[in-house]
């Protein structure tokens, strides 16, 4: 009988899921809202509704199959414990709960156990979104057959997954791979994590926009960017402007690639990967971002590693990467 797994991608807005086979074909997809379940007390109903929607998808399919596992990608998920811990935009305490003494740092959800009650006997694996993307690349994408590689996800945040000896590095506590929070500029830009100078503050979608506004101050060239407020400008516009020749937009990509290139040269000294994959909005900018990354990475590379490490776009870029990544978690664990 055909074997399928559920891949579930829990985002702040929606929870999307699909049934996926071993070669990455998706046999049906659906989604429920995540945002609708804002509060801590909504969480049990969220689990109920998710399980119901998943079973509805199963029943809607025309094929016979065996469900061999469920893989989940979620923010702040802990692979070892099966938990989602203090997710910033989901299942939050109300003001009353906080006033009654409930503490943010205790907000933890036994996601794997709770969903598991609806699928008895089916193994559930959970990890954060960037790790899921990494395993997706390893099982279905360009990292197939690679034992040592790095995945960098460039989106609203900067995430990463490090694979060594053919295994995902989860680390002692299950939270390894926070490459967006290596400090690349001591005392630099304020980061969402509360510290200063993290890679994420420079190379996320918001980071490159911050660079654009910094350059509006330091450069004098006329630029279409000058017509937008900070709130109006979207980071995707910068590729368009750069391709049209705007010097400020071009400089944005050079500086962003420089920060990433420097940081990647340091990461290479630690894990010596065969390749580095880039995924997410910024990675879609093609040569605009790949060229400066490669240039500054090689310029700063320890001689041992020079001209050895490939920098490649994710091969899941235009596919349903989040669902595939979550599904891959199951196949990888088998």
Instruction: Name the residues that contact its own copies, by CB under 8 A.
Output: 147-148, 160, 162, 164-165, 167, 169-179, 181-183, 186, 193-195, 262, 265-267, 269-274, 300, 302-305, 308-309
CA 242/CA 224 separation, integer angstroms: 10
Q: CB-wise, 195 or 334, nearer to its own copies? A: 195
Backbone angles phi, psi at 69, to 5 degrees: 175, 170
Q: CB-wise, 183 or 237, nearer to its own copies? A: 183
Shortest Å distance, C-beta 161 to its own copies: 10
Q: CB-wise, 30 or 183, nearer to its own copies? A: 183
Q: β-pairing, 124-127 with 65-73?
A: parallel
Q: CB-wise, 102 or 270, nearer to its own copies? A: 270
Shortest Å distance, C-beta 92 to its own copies: 18
Q: Are 127 and 170 in contact (CB under 8 A)?
A: yes
Shortest Å distance, C-beta 324 to its own copies: 23
For residue 47, the number of C-alpha atoms closer than 13 Å in the C-beta half-sphere is 17
Angle formed by the axes of helices 287-299 and 247-271, nearest 10°: 50
Q: Are 73 and 322 in contact (CB under 8 A)?
A: yes
Q: CB-wise, 4 or 158, nearer to its own copies? A: 158
Q: Are 250 and 262 in contact (CB under 8 A)?
A: no
Q: CB-wise, 85 or 246, nearer to its own copies? A: 85
Shortest Å distance, C-beta 12 to its own copies: 19
Shortest Å distance, C-beta 252 to its own copies: 20
3-state helix/strand/coil string of 46-89: HHHHHHHHHHHHHHHCCCCEEEEEEEEECCCEECCCCEEECCCC
Shortest Å distance, C-beta 260 to its own copies: 14
Q: CB-wise, 26 or 182, nearer to its own copies? A: 182
Tell me the chain's radius of gyration from C-alpha atoms: 21
Shortest Å distance, C-beta 284 to its own copies: 25
Shortest Å distance, C-beta 185 to its own copies: 9
End-to-end CA distance of the chain: give it in Å, rounded: 17
Q: CB-wise, 88 or 287, nearer to its own copies? A: 88
């Amino acid at each position: 009988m055909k074997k399928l797994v559920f891949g579930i991608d829990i985002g702040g807005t929606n929870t999307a899921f699909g049934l996926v086979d071993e070669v990455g074909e998706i046999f049906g997809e659906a989604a429920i809202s995540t945002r609708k379940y804002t509060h801590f007390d909504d969480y049990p109903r969220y689990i109920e509704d998710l399980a119901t929607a998943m079973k509805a998808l199963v029943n809607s399919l025309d094929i016979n199959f065996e469900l061999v596992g469920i893989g989940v990608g979620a923010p702040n998920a802990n692979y070892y414990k099966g938990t989602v811990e203090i997710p910033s935009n989901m299942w939050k305490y109300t003001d009353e709960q906080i006033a009654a003494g409930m503490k943010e740092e205790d907000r933890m959800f036994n996601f794997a156990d709770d969903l598991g009650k609806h699928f008895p006997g089916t193994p559930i694996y959970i990890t954060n979104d960037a790790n899921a993307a990494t395993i997706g690349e390893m099982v279905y994408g360009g990292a197939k057959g690679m034992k040592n590689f790095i995945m960098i996800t460039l989106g609203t945040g900067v995430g990463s997954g490090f694979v060594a000896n053919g295994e995902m590095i989860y680390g002692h506590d299950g939270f390894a791979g926070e490459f967006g929070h290596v400090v690349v500029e001591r005392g630099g830009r304020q980061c969402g994590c509360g510290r200063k100078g993290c890679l994420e503050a420079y190379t996320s979608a918001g980071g490159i926009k911050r660079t654009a506004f910094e350059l509006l101050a330091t450069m004098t060239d006329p630029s279409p960017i000058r017509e937008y407020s900070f709130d109006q400008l979207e980071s995707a516009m910068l590729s368009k402007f750069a391709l049209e020749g705007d010097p400020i937009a071009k400089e944005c990509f050079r500086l962003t690639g420089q920060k990433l290139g420097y940081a990647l040269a340091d990461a290479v000294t630690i894990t010596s990967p065969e390749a580095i994959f880039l995924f997410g909005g910024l990675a879609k900018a093609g040569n605009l971002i790949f060229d400066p990354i490669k240039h500054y990475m090689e310029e700063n590379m320890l001689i041992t590693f020079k001209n050895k490490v490939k920098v490649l776009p994710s091969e899941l870029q235009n596919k349903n990467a989040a669902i595939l990544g979550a599904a891959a978690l199951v196949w990888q664990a088998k």
